[in-house]
Structure 1
Amino acid sequence: MAVVDAQRVGHVRRIVAARLRYLGLAVLLDPVLLVVSELVTNAVEHTAAPGGSVTVTQVFARGELHLLVQDDGRGLPRVQAAGPEAESGRGLYLVDCVTAELGGRWGHSLGTGTVWCVIPVPRAGP
């Protein structure tokens, strides 16, 4: 991944972190930032053209955090079985594990280049 593309991932991570803090959802920072990093990295690496378009949307509604990452690539995301020596190929596996651990779900919308993730927001204590 080019340095400029890697910087894009970091910028998105900082924006998402700021929004989570603003919404009072700092408890979700670590897992959500991991998911965002993986989804945006995949989008940047698999867009149709170098410097292609990647859009990230973050919505908090009805007690759930919705993350959508859209790119202009044509491939479909899929969890891979990366070997023990592989240096890549674990991103969607991590997304799957983290969202499941949080009681959420993830997937993709056919024909749109969008990968989405929905994470329930923990209720505030008394």
Structure 2
Amino acid sequence: MAPAVPTTALPAPTSLARARTASTAPALAWHPPSFDVVFVREVSRVEHARRIGGAWLRNVCRMREARVESAVVVISELATNAVLHGRGDSVGFRMRHVGGQVCLEVNDHSPSTVPGPVHVGPDMESGRGLWLVDTLIDELGGRWGFTADGAVAWCVFPIAPNAPRSSYESGGPGSESRGHGLGSKSRR
């Protein structure tokens, strides 16, 4: 016999009549849990951010795999940017579900000039990260930018394609920043 394990789940109805009654009862609004992670500012930690973010999108938000793959690249690029260009000891990574939208933030704790995508030559080995973020967020139907102090990169995109946009998307998390377009100047 298996040992009893404490749980917060409601017990299953013992009869079909109770199941019907339970299913017609008013449902509580359920929102996927958000998470905040702080990791040491090391390149090896970017993989952890990708895995955590991808698992959360797949298992908690039930996002389709093609969208998850694009979002994981965005997570990777923003986390890498924070690790390479941040000056603090840590990087903050937060994801939330708000009104059918995913809200993602990467905080490098380093106020700076607001970066943006740049065009780089074909022989350059790096420098395409924010251009890639711009392209993928556009394909996901979202927006992205930085807080006014340049310390937090944020993006908002729908869990499902063609989902209505939430009011959260209009400005980003507590900032006056705007989404970026190709051609913005950047230190990154």
TM above 0.5, one fold?
A: yes
Q: Which residue of structure 2 lines up, in the alignment, with residue 68 of structure 1?
A: 105
Query: How many pairs align?
Result: 118
**TM-score normalised to structure 1 length:** 0.86
In structure 2, what is the Cα distance between the partners aligned to 1:109 and 1:87? 27
Report the Cα offset of residue 106 of structure 1. Answer: 0.4
Who is 2:126 aligned against?
88
Greater strand fraction, Structure 1 or Structure 2 = 1
Identical residues among aligned pairs (%): 40
Contact 1:39 1:69 in 2 (8 A): yes
Shift of 1:73: 2.0
**Backbone CA RMSD of aligned residues:** 1.6
Deviation string 1:2-51 (CA, Å, 9 cap, x unpaired) is xx8221000111111111122211432200100000000000001115xx
Q: Among 2, 5, 17, which residue is 2:54 paired with?
A: 17
Aligned residue identity for 2:98: A
Give structure 1 regions of 4+ aligned residues with deviation exceeding 3 angstroms.
none
Kept in 1, the 8 Å contact 2:118–2:131? The answer is yes
- Letter matched to residue 96 of structure 2: V
Residue from 87, 94, 98 that aligns with 1:48: 87
Structure 1, unaligned runs of 5 or more:
none
